[in-house]
Structure 1
Amino acid sequence: MSTDERPAAGRGPRGPYATGQARRQAIVDEALAVFSRTGFNGGSLREIAKRVGMTPAGLLHHFAGKEELFAEVLHQRDEKVREAAGDPAEHTLVEQARRVVAHNQTSRGLTSLYAIVSAEAVDPEHPSHADFAARYRDRAAEAEEILRRGQRDGEVRDDIDPASAARLISAVMDGIQLQWLLDESVDMVSLFEEFVGRYLHPADPLSRAPSAAAPTAPPEPGTTTGRSPAVPPTA
């Protein structure tokens, strides 16, 4: 490796490696644009390669095929969602969920990709069928445990079934996202907070009664008081 190709202190890689990584990322970016519009089945390597100024054969020097490229697009999408959620040590889970919803509302391409591909993936032959089935199972299992802890701590209504509520949280988020993709006047953040506030909070008003020493106005719909019920980040 020549001196010019070695990474300098405090700087990223240079030379052919950096060029290859930049070209690979450009392919992923264009693949996102194509897949978020047409889904996996409708997206073609030929169109993606053309958008990057390459031939399909040249694109295959960077990715073994359409499935590998698609997997990298989904991987980067998941990383962005995790970054949006923030550090669990610094944000409550309900705040993480709100941050993810807000992120999705500013990331139409990524949100569209998830909506289209999750629908396509109901086909058992789809390359992401098993992955999406596992995503929903894992997310529901995580949410169920969090909801049970919330019930024990008095933060979540005790008259809901955690297993059903866990699935309902995903269904509500997916439904809100679909409506927003069809009509951007839909405010995903406020709708999700409305759902959380009205569905998960304890039904007993005494559990959220204001202090007699410091009376306060009733909370606005969708806002929280005291410790918020725990809700897992949605994607």
Structure 2
Amino acid sequence: MGNSTPYRRTQTERTRASREKILQAAIEFFSKNGFRGAKLADIAQAAGLTEPGLLHHFPSKTHLLMQVLDERDRIDKQRVQMILQQEGNHVLEAFQDIVNHNATVPGLVQLFTVLVAESLVAEHPAHAFFVQRYQRTRASLVESIRKAQQAGEIRADLKAEDLAILMTAIMDGLQVQWLLEPETMDMRQAFGVFLNLLKAK
């Protein structure tokens, strides 16, 4: 019988695993307590690390917050791009998919909602992030809506700029109501009703 040596993860793999545990713990505590209320010591303990160990990967709470937000944005963009790159008219499907997915990750939705509310104060570390994020989101929506209007998927009698503002407002508003009443508020169905109003006849 040959000797089998147990597989040992590389340093890179261990580092990646530790960072992932920290990010998941940070999502939990930021979504429950906000940025101000979340404590690095609690996040570190939940990730199985000491606070100095956490700071080895993320040098400050602000840095950790921005990494959490960037990771959430990256995943959302990937989902949308996968649909939009398909052949045919899929803009409305992509919008619906975002809401459908958000309904499966209440922790991330709560994280976003809590931090947006906190960041209304200009001194909040994520204030500039969310201002720029909304600007990018509206610009991206305008581009997608215009293409869908040209393709005959979305009605053309409404300005793309107005629809982009309305769509972000409805998405965010539905998320707040859903977080408050998850048992009775069907966010996916309500957003689908809105999208039906946008379909070209």
Q: Which structure has the greater CA radius of gyration?
A: 1
TM-score (norm 1): 0.74
Does structure 1 residue 24 correspond to structure 2 residue 19?
yes
- 2:196 is matched with 197
Aligned pair in 2 of structure 1 residues 24, 155: CA closer, same or farther (>3 Å)?
A: closer
User: Where does 1:78-89 land on structure 2 (aligned, <5 Å)?
Assistant: 78-85=73-80, 87=82, 88-89=84-85
The 1:16/1:152 distance shift into structure 2, 3 A limit, reads closer
Is 1:53 equivalent to 2:10 in the alignment? no
Match of 1:90 in 2: 86
Q: Which runs of 4+ in 1 moved over 4 A?
A: none
Higher helix share: 2
> How far off is 1:107 after superposition?
0.3
Distance 1:19 1:57, change over 3 A: same
Provide the C-alpha distance between the structure 1 equivalents of 2:16 and 2:147, rounded to a whole number of angstroms.
Answer: 44
Query: For the residues of structure 1 that align with 2:47 and 2:150, how far apart are their CA atoms?
Result: 54
CA RMSD of aligned residues (A): 2.2
The yes-or-no answer on 1:100 pairing with 2:98 is: yes
Alignment gaps of 5+ in structure 2: none
- Contact kept, 8 Å, 2:116 with 2:130, in 1: the verdict is yes
SS in 1 for 2:121: coil
Answer whether contact 1:34 1:43 (CA < 8 A) is retained: yes
The AA in structure 1 aligned to 2:9 is R
How far residue 24 of structure 1 moved from its aligned partner, in angstroms, is 1.8
Letter in 1 for 2:55: L
The answer on whether the counterparts of 2:91 and 2:145 sit within 8 Å (CA) in structure 1 is no
Q: Aligned partners of 1:127, 1:140: CA distance in 2, in Å?
A: 22
Does residue 117 of structure 1 match 2:115? yes
Q: Is the 8 A contact 2:91 2:144 kept in 1?
A: no
What's the CA shift for 1:130? 1.1
SS at match of 2:158: coil
- The amino acid of 1:144's aligned partner reads V
1:1-235 aligned within 5 A: 14-85=9-80, 87=82, 88-90=84-86, 92-184=90-182, 185-198=184-197, 200-202=198-200, 207=201
Residue pair 1:84, 1:103 contacting (<8 A) in 2 also: no
Deviation at 1:51, TM superposition (A): 1.6
The residue type equivalent to 2:130 in the other structure is F
Q: CA deviation at 1:86?
A: 5.2
Change (3 A) 1:58 1:155: closer
Structure 1 residues 153 and 93: alpha-carbon distance in aligned structure 2, compared to 1, 3 A threshold: closer
Amino acid at match of 1:138: R
Report deviation, 1:150. Answer: 3.8
In structure 1, stretches of 5+ residues that fail to align are 208-235
Mapped to 2, the partners of 1:89 and 1:171 lie a distance apart of 25
CA distances 1:65-93 after superposition (whole Å, capped 9, x unpaired): 10111111112212322343351222712
Distance 2:135 2:77 in 1: 18
Query: Aligned partners of 1:53 and 1:21: how far apart in 2?
Result: 14
